[in-house]
Amino acid sequence: MTAPMPQPEIVHVALGDRAYDILIGRHVLDAAGARLGALGARAAALVTDETVSGLHADAVASRLERAGLRGVRVTVPPGEGSKAMPQLERVLNELLEGRIERGDIVVALGGGVVGDLAGFAAATLRRGVRLVQIPTTLLAQVDSSVGGKTGINAPAGKNLIGAFHQPSLVLADTALLDTLPARELRAGYAEVVKYGLIDDPAFFSWCEENGAAVLAGGDVRDHAVAVSCRAKAAVVVEDEREEGRRALLNLGHTFGHALERIVGYDGTRLVHGEAVAIGLALAFGFSAAMGLCDRDEAERVARHLASLGLPTRLADVPGGFGSPEAILDAMAQDKKVKAGRLTFILARGIGRSFVAEGVPAEEVLSFLRDAERA
Amino acid sequence: MTAPMPQPEIVHVALGDRAYDILIGRHVLDAAGARLGALGARAAALVTDETVSGLHADAVASRLERAGLRGVRVTVPPGEGSKAMPQLERVLNELLEGRIERGDIVVALGGGVVGDLAGFAAATLRRGVRLVQIPTTLLAQVDSSVGGKTGINAPAGKNLIGAFHQPSLVLADTALLDTLPARELRAGYAEVVKYGLIDDPAFFSWCEENGAAVLAGGDVRDHAVAVSCRAKAAVVVEDEREEGRRALLNLGHTFGHALERIVGYDGTRLVHGEAVAIGLALAFGFSAAMGLCDRDEAERVARHLASLGLPTRLADVPGGFGSPEAILDAMAQDKKVKAGRLTFILARGIGRSFVAEGVPAEEVLSFLRDAERA
């Protein structure tokens, strides 16, 4: 079977002296040697987790070796628990023991956890070395590998310690998604839909027609990844450090993060993308409840997500979500709360999202009480 | 005693959207409230060490409080041991518990250790909050508080984990130096002399005439701090991330770091500035041995440093320095070594320093064997 390799889609992230390319398509990893070799490093450190290591690390390592790069490999346990200070320290010390120098490269091979952890290690090793992202999950390909946010969790909350550190290259090989469990794929799809909901109603319609095919694989999936990367790149170029418009990417995340906190970040109950799916449905439900958006539009959002097997209601949280008060409490510990007022991303309709500051806590509570019974 | 307050000297560091002022002079801390208040934060976290806390923290804290800033205080043990992962983690967690938000400020009140540690915490808290440096040692006022290098040590070496994070303001209150032990003051003076040796021969001559008075205090000391800050700012503006010219600031540091490593960073034997003093004398001695620089010039450098009580010879290292081979080994573990060749800052004369790449290890060893007998 020697199918012709399709041309990869290239999204350029135009950030001046921090500009970089995202290569998207099946088997773009075949270009890893040439692309990384062109960065002019002497060594490349592959940071991955135990799950991904068994699937893809050898293939990537041999490509880098053939390109003349000395190899170092650092493997962390899978799961959110690795996004913490002890693993960061371990990764940094192993990179130093592996003599990764200022001109060398850290390659993050994995999902969001590996990308965030390895990215932060690259940002702080010798005050910053270059980073290449090779995302292996749909969520990482369409969201976390692009845009330069890196970091770890703290006892006080998620992603509270980190750095903005743009990659020098992103290789989104959609063939890697073939080994992804269906649940992970579905969860990542919530972030794809998000781009339609933010400002691209035509893409949301496309998702309604093609969502099932995206999960099944093939060219349609590649298109979904490319549109998502292009959307994210455009936002990041406009507002790299989230001083304004970039906050729109948090659509669905205020509710979503609160639910993740409530289940104790227990991925057996709720993975990030699932929390975002419920969060997207709630953000539109809340927008409708506040009279900002047609109820039909909100229902259309929930219907599409649910049609692909994603959770959309509070009642869908396995093991329960506590209470509306518990959700508000969880939000209050988030960085998005000031003096009893919350910052939300709300919508005037599909593709018409906006940053809403100063939303009164009582209104949120009242909506959640209704949503609890839905 | 109400002496008229002299106008502070202001050095502007012109780094575009990262530009900032350095205020230099006796009692510039009186401007802390107004200057920090103008940054538009709601809270300011004072990070300091136990020694400095007892001397200056209350005075600074009350000024910030009067300016309407909510206060948080984090105190670490004094000494190089605090520039490590456990203290970084503790500082970050205390800043988070103290609800320091993205728009707030971290104030580093102390010497180089506090500045580097608090600066790195500021660089990584919520992916970066603003930093104000209030250096309390001569070394920090003329060197480490300016230029944005922050970080901690790793088992593999000093300053190997960190970030470039420019401060938003530096307040170099020379009155704070009145409480500094004579040994610390003398050690910091080595970094002052360094600026003359790099590219300002007239300033070195001025140091020869005024060095003793700088250590004694008064206007002459303020002038030395101002000239040093201006020199450092000029280099940083030209090469913020040390891709070229900024490496000149490492004059004396290749030998110096090796000696610090050999004594196990034991400050009772050798503090950083003392190691730099020996390193400066050795760098000029080595330049003379290589026929780059007149032997008279090298002797003039050593004579001036020694005249103020600074160590200048290998024999001056308390407890001994091991052997020439041990020094070379210590250098080899530094980041400045590639394939048996070293990068040094050498000089063609006083004020004529340059970056010398590819210096053969044997030449260093042969020079050190001679220096051992000196």
Contact B267, B326 (CB under 8 A): no
User: Residue B155: its chain A contacts at CB < 8 A?
Assistant: 93, 96
Provide the shortest C-alpha distance from residue A285 to chain B (in Å): 29
How far apart are the C-alpha atoms of A144 and A284, rounded to whole Å? 23
Q: Cα A245 to chain center, whole Å?
A: 17
Task: Indicate whether B204 pLDDT > 90.
Answer: yes
Q: Do A124 and B126 touch (CB under 8 A)?
A: no
Provide the shortest C-alpha distance from residue A295 to chain B (in Å): 35
As to burial, measured by CB atoms within 10 angstroms (0-12 exposed, 13-18 middle, 19+ buried), residue A166 is buried
Residue B2 pLDDT level (bands cut at 50, 70, 90):
very low
Using the structure block, give the residue that is written with the tokens 């799809």.
Answer: A189
Please tell me whether residue A321 adopts helix, strand or coil conformation.
coil
Q: Kindly report, residue by residue over B307-335, the tens digit of the pLDDT.
A: 999 999 999 999 999 899 999 988 877 65
Among B116, B161, B239, the strongest candidate for a mutation testing the A interface, having the largest count of A CBs within 10 A, is: B161
Task: Indicate whether A192 pLDDT > 50.
Answer: yes
Q: Do B163 and A92 touch (CB under 8 A)?
A: no
Q: Which residue of A has its CA nearest to B122?
A: A161
Contact A179, A31 (CB under 8 A): no
Write the residue in B89, B96, B123 that is nearest to A163 by C-beta: B123
Please tell me whether residue A372 adopts helix, strand or coil conformation.
helix
Contact A70, A86 (CB under 8 A): no
How far apart are the C-alpha atoms of B38 and A218, rounded to whole Å? 56
Q: What is the pLDDT of residue B341?
A: 82
What is the rounded end-to-end Cα distance, in angstroms, of chain A? 50
Write the residue in B125, B160, B241 that is nearest to A161 by C-beta: B125
Dmax (CA) of chain A: 62
Contact B173, B27 (CB under 8 A): yes
Amino acid at A73: R
User: Residue A96: its chain B contacts at CB < 8 A?
Assistant: 154-157, 160
How far apart are the C-alpha atoms of B45 and B65, rounded to whole Å? 11
User: Residue A160: its chain B contacts at CB < 8 A?
Assistant: 92, 96, 125-126
Contact B24, B229 (CB under 8 A): yes
Q: What is the pLDDT of residue A7?
A: 82
Q: Work out how many CB contacts closer than 8 A connect A with B.
A: 75
Q: What is the pLDDT of residue B337?
A: 59
> Domain B190-372 has what CATH class?
mainly alpha
Provide the shortest C-alpha distance from residue B103 to chain A (in Å): 11
Which is nearest to A83 in space by CA: A154, A189, A173? A154
Stretch B229-243: mean pLDDT, rounded? Answer: 95
Q: What is the pLDDT of residue A25?
A: 96
User: Residue B120: its chain A contacts at CB < 8 A?
Assistant: 124
Contact B279, B345 (CB under 8 A): no
Stretch A27-45: mean pLDDT, rounded? Answer: 95
Lowest mean pLDDT among A134-138, A328-332, B72-76, B109-113: A328-332
Instruction: Please give the share of chain B, as a percent, with pLDDT higher than 70.
Output: 97
Q: What is the pLDDT of residue B331?
A: 86
| Element containing residue A100 per DSSP (H, E) | none
How far apart are the C-alpha atoms of A302 and A341, rounded to whole Å? 26
Lowest mean pLDDT among A213-217, B106-110, B264-268: B264-268
A9-179: CATH, from 1.10.260.30, 3.40.50.920, 3.40.50.1970, 3.50.50.60: 3.40.50.1970
Residue A4 pLDDT level (bands cut at 50, 70, 90):
low
Write the residue in B89, B102, B161 that is nearest to A124 by C-beta: B161
Q: Which residues pair with B344 in a beta bridge?
A: B356
Kindly report the number of other CB atoms within 10 A of residue B243's CB atom. Answer: 9
Q: What is the pLDDT of residue A374?
A: 75
Q: Which residue of B has its CA nearest to A336?
A: B101
Residue B218 pLDDT level (bands cut at 50, 70, 90):
confident
Ranges of each domain in chain A: 9-179, 190-372
Contact A131, A108 (CB under 8 A): yes
**Which residues on chain B place their C-beta less than 8 Å from a C-beta of chain A?**
85, 89, 92-93, 96-97, 101-102, 120, 123-128, 149, 151, 154-157, 160-164, 241, 335
Alpha helices in chain A (DSSP H): 32-37, 50-52, 58-66, 85-97, 112-124, 138-139, 182-199, 201-216, 219-238, 253-262, 272-289, 295-307, 324-332, 361-372
- Here the ipTM equals 0.93
Strand order in the sheet with B337-338: B337-338, B341-347, B353-360
Which is nearest to A10 in space by CA: A169, A193, A237? A169
Q: Kindly report, residue by residue over A18-29, the tens digit of the pLDDT.
A: 999 999 999 999
Provide the shortest C-alpha distance from residue B105 to chain A (in Å): 15
How far apart are the C-alpha atoms of B132 and B170, rounded to whole Å? 6
Provide the shortest C-alpha distance from residue B160 to chain A (in Å): 5
| Element containing residue A78 per DSSP (H, E) | none
Q: What is the mean pLDDT of chain A?
A: 94
Please tell me whether residue A88 adopts helix, strand or coil conformation.
helix
In this structure, what token pair is assigned to residue B336? 């400045």
Q: What is the pLDDT of residue B1?
A: 44
Contact A190, A305 (CB under 8 A): yes
How far apart are the C-alpha atoms of B278 and A171, rounded to whole Å? 49
Residue B157 pLDDT level (bands cut at 50, 70, 90):
confident
Q: Kindly report, residue by residue over A257-267, the tens digit of the pLDDT.
A: 999 999 998 98
Write the residue in B120, B160, B164 that is nearest to A96 by C-beta: B160
Q: What is the pLDDT of residue A265?
A: 87
The 3 state secondary structure assigned to chain B is: CCCCCCCCEEEEECCHHHCEEEEEECCHHHHHHHHHHCCCCCEEEEEEEHHHHHHHHHHHHHHHHHCCCEEEEEEECCCHHHCCHHHHHHHHHHHHHCCCCCCCEEEEEECHHHHHHHHHHHHHECCCCEEEEEECCHHHHHHHCCCCEEEEEECCEEEEEEEECCCCEEEEEHHHHHHCCHHHHHHHHHHHHHHHHHHCHHHHHHHHHHHHHHHHCCHHHHHHHHHHHHHHHHHHHHCCCCCCHHHHHHCCHHHHHHHHHHCCCCCCCCCHHHHHHHHHHHHHHHHHHCCCCCHHHHHHHHHHHHHCCCCCCHHHCCCCCCCHHHHHHHHHCCCCEECCEEEEEEECCCCCEEEEEEEEHHHHHHHHHHHHHC
